[in-house]
Amino acid sequence: MSGGVDSSVAALRLRDAGEPIAGLFMQNWADDGSGDCRAEDDRRDAVAVSGRLGVPIHFRDFSGEYWAGVFEHFLAEYAAGRTPNPDVLCNREIKFLHFLSAARELGAERIATGHYARVAHRDGRWRLLRARDVGKDQSYFLHQLGQAQLAATVFPLGDMLKADVRAQATAAGLPTAGKKDSTGICFIGERDFRTFLGRYLPAREGEIQTPDGRAIGRHPGVFYFTLGQREGLGLGGVRGHAAAPWYVVDKRVDENVLVVDQAHDSPWLLSTVTRTESAHWVAGTPPAARFEALAQTRYRQTAEACEVEVADDGALTVRFARPQRAVTPGQSLVLYDGDECLGGAVIAATDAPRTGSPSAVGALSG
């Protein structure tokens, strides 16, 4: 019970189906004074919903586990010039590990969350499927789950549209019916990103350069930016260049240089081959050593056709049928067979062309 509308309706549906349920509210971030921490508001909402539904609610503090299992990795990735995806780690390390363990200690057989995804058991194994509401589908963030977690998980909203979730909450008189969806960093929430990150990673100002090495501005710290980003560069009109937007095309961390170009589909952002770290498979093993699939390299991206090759160490080489824009090291590449999520891995590098020195982030070697 997060205090949001999705977990509220998940609980409502289970209660109405006659399931014996209890709520569990998790505290996962100790307020550091860096922004608007809404944990207490969320806690009050979770208590109010539980009272409305007539179900008991429990509380657990996993802030230490969150720091060690998610946030330290988050900081290390940014310091290395990569762009991490904390939602994936939140699910693997907190919601489907510590939350599941706490639920079992309380006597529960299964856990339920407000995620938009579906679980099915076919041909002797558990499968993770996309939600009916394609625009809200969260299977991308759940790709690190395995057979044990899926066997113990229920997604009551998997067959619902978001509009119907809110309508059901309203009809039931739930106090979270009109509550805005949470955004921002997983469990940390909305706050000024640069100010927040600067509390943990001191900024080092450096040059903004064009791909040919011409300095055209200054940046406050390369780790504040990600590939393909347009906002926040602070570049106005640049002499000798058209009055068009600039996009981040490279982060040369060793030189503290941010590289930008003006084309949205700049050739410096395009790649057809992606290599990953060792992959996780929902089934426990890959479908084959080589196979065709659909892949997403970011959330809400249209899945793209690709060929996947699995190395002996579990790393993937993924060749796309058409060029991909701004495939970003540190993010997740997630594989699908139709609606079924097969698994995925952290992106390590691509064959996007290099800028400047061999230290450029994202370049393939070998």
In the DSSP assignment, the letter for residue 302 is P
341 catalytic? Reply is no
* Cβ–Cβ under 8 Å, residues 354 and 310: no
Q: Of 362, 365, 344, which Cα lies nearest the Cα of 269?
A: 362
Q: What backbone phi and psi angles, to 5 degrees, belong to 322?
A: -140, 155
Question: Can you name the residues that pair with 11 across neighbouring β-strands?
Answer: none
Token readout for 306 is: 């690709």
Give dist(CA 5, CA 11) in Å, integer. Answer: 10
Which residue has tokens 């698994």? Answer: 343
Token readout for 288 is: 């084959």
The one catalytic residue in 37, 90, 306, 341 is 90
Token readout for 332 is: 């997740």
Q: Residue count of the chain, please give it.
A: 366
**Distances 137 to 154, 238, 317 between C-alpha atoms, Å:** 15, 41, 25
Burial of 202 by CB count in 10 Å (0-12 exposed, 13-18 middle, 19+ buried)? exposed
Which residue has tokens 């057809």? Answer: 272
The one catalytic residue in 37, 186, 306, 341 is 186
**Distances 337 to 150, 270, 343 between C-alpha atoms, Å:** 18, 24, 10
Catalytic residues: 90, 186
